[in-house]
């Protein structure tokens, strides 16, 4: 039985068009001088994000780490929403390599986000020389472990405003910023307003085999280029990946299709008596009594998902058709009792 893979939007295969573009890419040595295709990608993404410049990095984790290294001095505290990727899913690099003291902020503003008042309170005001310094607010939009929750533009502005009033730098983990923009009918640049740096992924939902971009001011990106080299992320003929990234961006207008597929998945599960929330983007988190049992049952009917705490995570993506979603719902009928809350 062919399995229907709803584990992540990173399981997509490069399309034939993407592979052709990679094979034909014009390339150069990106360490000695800029690779022409990577340079084109960097300019296109900087424009899309409304930032001065952007730098290609191999992964979202490296983009976030470089941002933290830019903004945090050893021993400085940084704030991030609870369960942010930079806190729990990057192997502690924010502390280990960037030297920051992480401070998770509970979600008092809504799923995946604190309020501006929480940011102001946590940032505090500068104290005597022997007190801890807080220098960075790291946001995440959409918030992965809040089920792809979107931070609305008004709240984004309020959070950035509170950070700036407290003289904090702001980094935005926008691995799925594209999805947040699509869900609100906004251009991605609207959701970077006021941030110092933003990281976006090409490998999540857009179909690129790898690659993220870290965008910011020209001086920040120049420094980021040095840090990328230090971390072993300076590549040579990176245009092969740059070409994949350029094709990936062409998928942006179609992200709404993946959001619709995710909504259909939730609706179909609700029709089976499963308590599935209304997804805001392409991620659906369903709380289940026993995630391990649910996972095994779903595997047995050829539906693959991932556990996230006490929930299971479904993500619809470009390699799954509407018919695949309907097929997955049919298959799940026989195991739906394991997905129903007690």
Ligand X SMILES: Cc1ncc(COP(=O)(O)O)c(C=O)c1O
Question: By the criterion CB under 6 A, which residues form the site for ligand X?
Answer: 59-61, 64, 85, 140, 144, 173, 175, 201, 203, 212
Q: How far is the CB of 175 from ligand X (least distance, A)?
A: 3
* Closest CB to ligand X: residue number: 60
Phi-psi region of 107 (alpha: psi -120 to 50; beta: other; left: phi over 0): beta
Q: Residue 214 contacts by C-beta under 8 Å, 6 or more apart in sequence?
A: 54, 55, 57, 63, 66, 67, 197, 198, 199, 221, 224
Q: How far is the CB of 75 from ligand X (least distance, A)?
A: 24
Nearer to ligand X, 195 or 332 (CB): 195
Q: How far is the CB of 88 from ligand X (least distance, A)?
A: 11
Q: How far is the CB of 60 from ligand X (least distance, A)?
A: 2
Nearer to ligand X, 148 or 239 (CB): 148
Residue 286 β-bridge partners:
312
- Helix (H/G/I), strand (E/B), else coil: 55: strand
Nearer to ligand X, 197 or 203 (CB): 203
- Helix (H/G/I), strand (E/B), else coil: 136: strand
Nearer to ligand X, 27 or 175 (CB): 175
DSSP string for 188-221? GGGGGTT-SEEEEESSSSS--SS-EEEEE-HHHH
The closest of 210, 215, 237, 211 to 225, measured between CA atoms, is: 215
What does the alpha-carbon distance between residue 281 and residue 148 come to, in Å, rounded to a whole number?
6
Nearer to ligand X, 53 or 177 (CB): 177
Nearer to ligand X, 89 or 256 (CB): 89
Q: How far is the CB of 59 from ligand X (least distance, A)?
A: 3
What does the alpha-carbon distance between residue 241 and residue 207 come to, in Å, rounded to a whole number?
12
Q: How far is the CB of 125 from ligand X (least distance, A)?
A: 30
Q: What are residue 113's phi and psi, to 5 degrees?
A: -145, 140
Q: How far is the CB of 119 from ligand X (least distance, A)?
A: 19
Residue 84 near residue 173, CB atoms below 8 Å: yes
The closest of 342, 339, 326, 251 to 4, measured between CA atoms, is: 326
Nearer to ligand X, 61 or 303 (CB): 61
The closest of 279, 282, 269 to 341, measured between CA atoms, is: 269
> Quick count: other Cβ atoms within 10 Å of Cβ 335?
18
Q: How far is the CB of 173 from ligand X (least distance, A)?
A: 5
Nearer to ligand X, 315 or 335 (CB): 315
The residue to which tokens 């407290």 are assigned: 166
The residue to which tokens 């699509």 are assigned: 182
Length of the chain: 342
Nearer to ligand X, 205 or 239 (CB): 205
Q: How far is the CB of 66 from ligand X (least distance, A)?
A: 12
């Amino acid at each position: 039985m062919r399995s229907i893979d709803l584990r992540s939007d990173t399981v997509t295969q490069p399309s034939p068009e993407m592979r052709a573009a990679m094979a034909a890419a014009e390339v150069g040595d990106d360490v000695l001088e800029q690779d022409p295709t990577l340079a084109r990608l960097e300019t296109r993404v900087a424009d899309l994000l409304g930032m001065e410049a952007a730098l290609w990095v191999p992964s979202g984790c490296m983009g976030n780490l470089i941002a933290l290294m830019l903004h945090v001095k050893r021993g400085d505290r940084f704030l991030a929403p609870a369960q942010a990727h930079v806190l729990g899913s990057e192997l502690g690099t924010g502390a280990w390599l960037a030297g920051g003291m992480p401070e998770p902020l509970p979600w008092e503003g809504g799923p995946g986000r604190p309020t501006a008042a929480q940011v102001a309170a946590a940032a505090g005001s500068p104290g005597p020389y022997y007190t801890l310094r807080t220098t960075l607010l790291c946001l995440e939009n959409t918030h992965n472990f809040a089920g792809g929750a979107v931070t609305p533009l008004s709240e984004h502005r309020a959070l950035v405003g509170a950070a700036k009033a407290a003289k904090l730098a702001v980094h935005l983990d926008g691995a799925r910023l594209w999805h947040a923009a699509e869900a609100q009918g906004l251009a991605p640049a609207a959701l970077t307003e006021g941030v110092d740096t933003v990281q976006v992924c090409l490998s999540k939902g857009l179909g690129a085999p790898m690659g993220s971009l870290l965008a910011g001011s020209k001086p920040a990106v120049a420094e980021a280029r040095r840090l990328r080299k230090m971390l072993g992320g300076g590549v040579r003929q990176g245009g092969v990946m740059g070409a994949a990234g350029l094709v990936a961006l062409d998928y942006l207008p179609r992200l709404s299709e993946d959001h619709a597929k995710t909504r259909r998945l939730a609706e179909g599960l609700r029709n089976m008596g499963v308590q599935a929330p209304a997804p805001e983007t392409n991620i659906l988190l369903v709380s289940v009594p026993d995630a391990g049992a649910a996972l095994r049952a779903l595997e047995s009917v050829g539906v693959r998902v991932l556990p996230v705490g006490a929930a299971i995570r479904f993500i619809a993506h470009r390699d799954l058709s509407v018919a695949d979603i309907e097929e997955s719902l049919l298959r799940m009928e026989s195991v739906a009792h394991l997905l129903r809350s007690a």
